[in-house]
C-alpha cells in the first residue's frame, strides 16, 4: 500500500509538471506526450534487473548512481525527467517506476476523457458487437472508451466487463455458480 501511495504522489507531481509545461510551452517540450515517452524510457532502463540491483546496493554511492543514470538516460529524456530519476534514486524509490508510469497514464487518460475497459467473452466479439459495447460504455461513462478484448472459454457464455475498478460478471459460469450456491443454501435450509 505504501508503494502505491508513494508512486501515486510521484505520478501526480509529474502530471502537474507536464500540464504546466503544456500550458506554458515549458522546457524541452516537456508536456504530457514527452513525459509519457520519457517515463517509458526510464522504466525500460530501471526495469533491468542489473540496473535495479545497482540502484538498491548500499555499496554504491549516490554520485555513482547519478553517473550511471546520466550516462544511460541523458541523451534520451528531458532534463526534468532525468532529475526526477535522480530524485527516485536518492530516495531509494527506483523500483516504483512501473507504478508511476501506470498511474501517470491513468491521469493522462482521465485528463483526455479516455477510459480503458476490458471485455472477456467465450468467443471473439464480432465488429457489430464490439461497436455496441463501446457505444454503451461511452454513454454510461461519458468518456471515450479504449476497449481491449479477451477470449476465455471457461466463462462458457455471456460477458465479463472490467472498467476502472468496477467488475461486472454476467458470464454463464458466474450465473451457474450463483445458482449452485442458492441450491446448496436451500438444501441446508430444508
Q: How far is the C-alpha of 72 from the C-alpha of 64, rounded, in Å?
A: 12
- Report the candidate in 83, 9, 95, 100 with the shortest Cα–Cα distance to residue 55: 95
Domain ranges of the chain: 2-109, 114-189
Supply the pLDDT for residue 120: 96
CATH placement of domain 2-109: 1.10.520.20
Q: 169 burial class (0-12, 13-18, 19+ CB within 10 angstroms)?
A: middle
Position 30 confidence tier, pLDDT thresholds 50, 70, 90: low
Q: What is the pLDDT of residue 63?
A: 94
Q: What is the per-residue pLDDT for 75? A: 95
Amino acid 27: pLDDT: 59
Taking the CB of residue 47, how many other CB atoms lie within 10 A of it?
Answer: 14
- Residue 29: per-residue pLDDT: 57
Express each pLDDT in 6-20 by its tens digit: 999 999 999 999 999
In 8-153, beta strands by DSSP E: 114-121, 144-151
Q: Is the pLDDT of residue 103 over 50?
A: yes
Pairing state between β 144-151 and 114-121: parallel
| Predicted pLDDT of residue 1 | 46
pTM of the model: 0.75
What pLDDT, in 10s, does the model give residues 71-100? 999 999 999 999 999 999 999 999 999 999
| Predicted confidence band of residue 23 (pLDDT cuts 50, 70, 90) | confident
pLDDT digits (tens, 9 = 90+) for 133-154: 999 999 989 999 999 999 999 9
Averaged pLDDT score across all residues of the chain: 91
Q: Point out the least confidently predicted range of 48-52, 98-102, 124-128.
A: 48-52
State the pLDDT at residue 26: 64
**Is 2's pLDDT higher than 70?**
no
Amino acid at each position: 500500500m505504501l508503494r502505491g501511495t508513494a508512486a501515486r504522489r510521484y505520478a501526480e507531481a509529474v502530471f502537474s509538471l507536464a500540464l504546466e509545461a503544456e500550458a506554458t510551452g515549458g522546457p524541452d517540450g516537456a508536456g504530457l506526450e514527452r513525459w509519457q515517452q520519457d517515463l517509458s524510457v526510464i522504466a525500460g532502463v530501471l526495469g533491468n534487473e542489473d540496473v535495479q540491483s545497482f540502484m538498491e546496493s548500499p555499496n554504491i554511492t549516490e554520485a555513482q548512481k547519478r553517473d550511471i543514470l546520466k550516462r544511460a538516460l541523458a541523451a534520451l529524456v528531458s532534463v526534468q525527467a532525468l532529475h526526477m530519476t535522480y530524485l527516485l534514486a536518492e530516495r531509494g524509490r527506483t523500483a516504483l517506476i512501473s507504478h508511476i508510469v501506470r498511474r501517470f497514464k491513468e491521469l493522462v487518460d482521465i485528463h483526455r476523457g479516455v477510459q480503458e475497459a476490458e471485455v472477456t467473452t467465450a468467443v471473439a466479439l464480432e465488429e457489430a458487437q464490439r461497436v455496441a459495447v463501446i457505444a454503451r460504455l461511452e454513454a454510461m461513462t461519458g468518456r471515450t472508451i479504449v476497449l481491449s478484448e479477451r477470449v476465455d472459454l471457461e466463462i462458457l457464455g455471456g460477458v465479463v466487463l472490467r472498467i476502472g475498478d468496477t467488475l461486472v460478471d454476467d458470464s454463464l459460469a458466474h450465473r451457474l455458480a450463483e445458482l449452485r450456491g442458492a441450491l446448496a443454501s436451500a438444501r441446508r435450509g430444508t
